[in-house]
A and B are shown apart, each in its own frame.
Chain A
Amino acid sequence: MTGEKIIQTIAAFIHQILGAAGLSGIIFIIDPVLCAVAMFGFISLFVMFLVWMERKVSAHMQSRIGPNRVGIFGLLQTVADAVKLTIKEDVKPIHRDVIPYTIAPILAFVATFAGMVVIPFDKGIVVQDLNIGLLYIIAITSFTVIAILSAGWSSNNKFALLGGFRSAAQIVSYEVPLVLSLVPIIMTTGTLRLGGIVDYQAGHRWFIFSQQAIAFFIFITAATAEANRAPFDIPEAESELIGGFHTEYSGVKFAMFFLGEYIAVIVSSAVAVTVFLGGWLPLPFLGFLHLPGFVWFMAKLIFVIYLIMAFRWTFPRLRVDQLMDFGWKVLIPIAILNVLATGFVILLLEGGV
């Protein structure tokens, strides 16, 4: 039974219950709500797992043990932390700008969470396989810069403001290589639909095994910068800016920023898996295992997230000018060259447009 069948069976079951209750008229409302709730539950649990994983990964990289007290292997440590954060007092600065201050954490969370809508976990398991999926993700996740800027501005704190400005400069700079690294894929596949890109890779090689490996590394680098993670964490550089844009946030609002950051990592890793690593397709030499596509997708997702975590715990933070140098003088020229080379190859192979 494939994942698509299971989802269809569940959907048919729910529709049947609603029909029996005489509520078939509101199915068009119930369906999206159920999808959102399921996705939120999955994401919350996965973020909790990732926080635990990050602490374990960093610990073992530094010859430490990491969390091991709460629950087996310390797995419930994140649950305990989340409970502590939710019952914590919400300390607010007096001279804050109330509306942006309140909206910023919500926006930071929603902007990244909305990106999950178009991620295909398996063939057919996707909330809405938009035909402009890739464009949608790039557009919607860029909203985080507004959230970070308004958080920095409204906190009425100079460190938060500096963090916000740095974030604006960084995210605007790294948006360009991020998009440019995806352009060759769109040129090759001729579709912006994420499911379509995976279908193309099923017929050909995965893009990581072609000359687009360069694009993969550009994408991962730019995505790390987009998610404000080390080594590109200058908007919240602890040793320079205390906490950066979330200096003045505590309790649930801080938890929202934290959640947003991790969801940004998940979304960009999921895009990397879908676009470059063949999404739900099995590994080329392990196809005989007949595991569900969902398992393959999650395995690849965790691998890419491990890569991003390893970046954080290996590389030192970049200085602001080095950051700009790296973005504008290295990533963007290489990405443009890659676009040109891909276009040239397509032109040669197809003999003219």
Chain B
Amino acid sequence: MGAIFQYFKNILVGFWNLILGLSVTTKYFLSMKTNTQQYPEEKLPLPARSRSMIKLIYDGDKDQFNCVACMMCAKACPNSCIKLEGVRDAGGKRRMTTFKLDFSTCIFCGYCVEACGFDALTFVSEEYENSVYKRGSLLQDEQAMKWVRPAHLAPKPEEPAKVETSAPAAAGA
């Protein structure tokens, strides 16, 4: 008798579970909620720190590039895809004249951005459709890479490092 009871109970429980499953899918079907991004028509803003494109920062106030042609980026580049030249102007300050970055060999490792000590090279997130029709278009010069940093992305002054004053919590109990 117990076995027969168990048999029908199993069937009923299984049937109820199937109904539960169907209710979940039907709920999603009726809600008509979609998470699809229809890419060419709608574009998601990328995170501000995403490595999408390398740009040369142009200072609008001084009307010149931040770059001083110190060659640190060219030395840091593992593929040697950065070529740049600079001159010393009348005031004795170094100034960049030509800057060429060959994106066909660039691997976006970011070493040049790290090496730059004058806040002249940076990754930008808003420009990420980098494909071109001709291979020659991948060799970009300073005019193509010119980028004026918008105000909301201006670097914040570094906060002084906090010194841990309190003694570390008792680790071993």
A residues adjacent to B (C-beta < 8 A): 57, 59-65, 217, 310-311, 313-315, 330, 334
Contacts and interface: CB of A to CB of B under 8 A. Distances in A.
Given A330-B11, A334-B11, A60 B22 contact: no
Nearest to B8: A334
Contacts of A310: 22, 25-26, 29
What DSSP secondary structure best describes chain A's contact surface? helix
A57 B29 contact: yes
A312 B26 CA distance: 12
Given A310-B26, A330-B11, A334-B11, A60 B21 contact: no
A61 B34 contact: no
Leading 6 A-B pairs by shortest Cβ distance: A314-B25, A61-B25, A65-B36, A63-B35, A60-B29, A314-B21
Interface in B22-63: 22, 24-26, 28-29, 31-36, 38
Given A63-B35, A65-B38, A334-B11, A315 B21 contact: yes
- Interface bracket on B: 10 to 19
Nearest to B20: A314
A108 to B, nearest CB: 29
Given A63-B28, A310-B22, 6 more contacts: A57-B29, A60-B28, A61-B28, A65-B34, A311-B22, A334-B11
Contacts, number: 37
Given A315-B18, A315-B21, A64 B26 contact: no
A60 B32 contact: yes
A313 B21 CA distance: 10
What DSSP secondary structure best describes chain B's contact surface? helix
Interface of B: 11, 15, 18, 21-22, 24-26, 28-29, 31-36, 38
A314 B11 contact: no
B29 A64 contact: no
A72 to B, nearest CB: 16
A60 B18 CA distance: 19
Given A330-B11, A334-B11, A64 B25 contact: no
Contact of B24 (A57, A311, A314): A314
Given A330-B11, A334-B11, A64 B22 contact: no
B139 to A, nearest CB: 36
Contacts of A63: 28, 33-36
Nearest to A64: B36
B18 A64 contact: no
B34 A64 contact: yes
Contacts of B34: 59-60, 63-65
A63 B167 CA distance: 51
A334 B8 CA distance: 10
Nearest to A307: B22
Contacts of A57: 29
